[in-house]
Structure 1
Amino acid sequence: MAQEQQYCASLLLGTWKLQSFTTEDLATGQKTGLFGAHPSGYLCYGPDLRMYAILVEEGRNAPADLVPTDAERIDLYNGFSSYAGTYSIEGDRVSHYVDASWNQMWTGTTHVRQFRIDGKYLYITTLPARSPVTGNECISELVWIKVE
């Protein structure tokens, strides 16, 4: 079993580029690309068992100046999600232990994700949880491609 865990961990190691981010509202069954059809972002798993995830909405507007207005700050915040911490793997689940986050409510929490690797693609599915963007109970699937 320990060998299998090491093998799974070795497959996750490295940097992954976001390909898609689909969220399903569990109450309605509606699926949406929460950050647009072509969001950007990166997910990195290090050999030191540290990780980070950065997700950015498609078509995000740059502020008119270096110091954004309050309205521009809100737009920037709403089109971004990021966190970092440590991770562990158990079977087909990876747990992210968040110690820094775009939303302070996530700091100190654990995010458990199901994962599957198929060639150069990593599929991550969240467990049912309340979305920090919509507030609704949802499941998200994120597809990543290995950066080589």
Structure 2
Amino acid sequence: MISWTRQSVATGEISDAMGPNPLGYLAYHADGRMMAVVFGGDRPLKGAVPTDEEKAVLFDSMLAYSASYTLENGRIIHHVDGAWNPAWKGALIRPYRVDGNRLFISGAPGKDPTTGEEVIYTLEFEKV
């Protein structure tokens, strides 16, 4: 993952959705399966075993899921069958484009789950 930005529809302001320097990978396989994992760039932990409060922060600063996928009219559809958040089961439909060895995935405006603000997320990945 190169970046994950969040653009406010109301103001146009762009910020890092997972903090600076997120760590993330998408793996697309020829059999039509994929996996995604993303971690926020700053995930502090005080000791070897997280406290309950730290566990909540760690959960909120990551995502992971597995899915089958299809490509359709400039959109990638992830048919999620397992996720860190069970509410993600079902179809995640996102416009995408490929530019050289970079993949850009963006979405139509949607609600930020933490603020309720209408935003557009854009994710950028580089092939490794």
CA distance in 2, matches of 1:126, 1:99: 20
Q: Residue in 2 aligned with 1:128?
A: 109
- What TM-score comes out, normalization by structure 1 length? 0.79
Q: Residue in 1 aligned with 2:65?
A: 83
SS at match of 1:21: strand
- What TM-score comes out, normalization by structure 2 length? 0.90
Asked whether 1:110 is paired with 2:119, we answer no
Q: Given the superposition, is the C-alpha separation of residues 104 and 77 from structure 1 closer, same or farther in structure 2, using an over 3 Å criterion? A: same
Sequence identity percentage: 36
CA distance in 1, matches of 2:112, 2:84: 14
Q: How many positions carry a matched residue from both structures?
A: 128
**Post-superposition shift, 1:98?**
1.0
**Post-superposition shift, 1:51?**
1.0
SS at match of 2:57: helix
User: Which of 24, 28, 38 is matched with 2:21 structurally?
Assistant: 38
Asked whether 1:28 is paired with 2:11, we answer yes
CA distance in 1, matches of 2:118, 2:2: 23
**Post-superposition shift, 1:38?**
1.0
Unaligned runs of 5+ in 1: 1-17
Q: Which one has a larger percent helix, Structure 1 or Structure 2? A: 1
Unaligned runs of 5+ in 2: none
**Post-superposition shift, 1:63?**
5.1
**Post-superposition shift, 1:105?**
1.1
Structure 1 runs of 4+ with >4 Å offset:
none
CA distance in 2, matches of 1:138, 1:120: 26
RMSD: 1.5
Instruction: Report the residue type matching 1:145 in the other structure.
Output: E
Residues 96-120 of structure 1 show CA distances to partners (whole Å, capped at 9, x for unaligned) of 111111111112x211111111111
Q: Residue in 2 aligned with 1:141?
A: 122
**Post-superposition shift, 1:126?**
1.6
CA distance in 2, matches of 1:133, 1:124: 21
